[in-house]
């Protein structure tokens, strides 16, 4: 039951999401990676999904893949991307990788933080 991947019960996070906004300045690729890692590590819903293995035994690897995909999405200053696209990417990734939907506003907040990080990376990358 559930191993075939055809049906699953989605985990829904609806608790209030409290997060301090951290202004991260990206100067190079390693700063961008670190910034993405910091934002994701502070995202309680994602950390809960990893800790409880909602994505299976490889939940940690799935969260690392998410960070990797976000890095590639955000690392090119020429990429024109919107906060809505980042939010959709996060939502889809959580649903597909962890069978999880966040209903606490955290996906939107994380997308906004990632967008700021992307914009800062673009500014510093254009020097």
37-59 pLDDT, tens digit each? 999 999 999 999 999 999 999 99
Question: pLDDT by residue (tens digit) across 75-127?
Answer: 876 778 999 999 999 999 999 999 999 999 999 999 999 999 988 877 765 43
| pLDDT at residue 80, as a whole number | 84
Tokens encoding 16: 């209030």
Residue 25: CB atoms within 10 Å? 11
The H or E element that residue 11 is part of is strand 11-13
What's the pTM? 0.76
Burial class (CB in 10 A: 0-12, 13-18, 19+), 55: buried
Tokens encoding 35: 């910034």
User: CA dihedral defined by 23, 29, 31, 32, rounded to 10 degrees?
Assistant: 40
Question: pLDDT by residue (tens digit) across 66-84?
Answer: 999 999 999 876 778 999 9
| Structure-model confidence comparison of residues 28 and 49, the more confident one | 49
Residue 20 clears pLDDT 50, i.e. is over it: no
47 to each of 76, 94, 103, how far by Cα in Å?
27, 11, 15
């Amino acid at each position: 039951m559930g191993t075939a991947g055809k049906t699953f019960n989605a985990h829904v996070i609806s608790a209030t999401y409290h997060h301090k906004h951290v202004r991260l300045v990206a100067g190079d690729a390693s700063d961008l990676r670190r910034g993405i890692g910091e934002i994701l590590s502070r995202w309680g819903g994602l950390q809960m999904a990893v800790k409880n293995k909602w994505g299976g035994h490889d939940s940690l690897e799935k969260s690392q893949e998410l960070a990797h995909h976000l890095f590639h999405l955000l690392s090119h200053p020429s990429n024109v991307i919107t906060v809505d696209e980042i939010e959709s990417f996060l939502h889809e990734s959580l649903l597909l990788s962890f069978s999880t939907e966040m209903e606490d506003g955290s996906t939107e907040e994380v997308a906004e933080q990632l967008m700021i990080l992307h914009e800062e990376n673009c500014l510093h990358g254009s020097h």
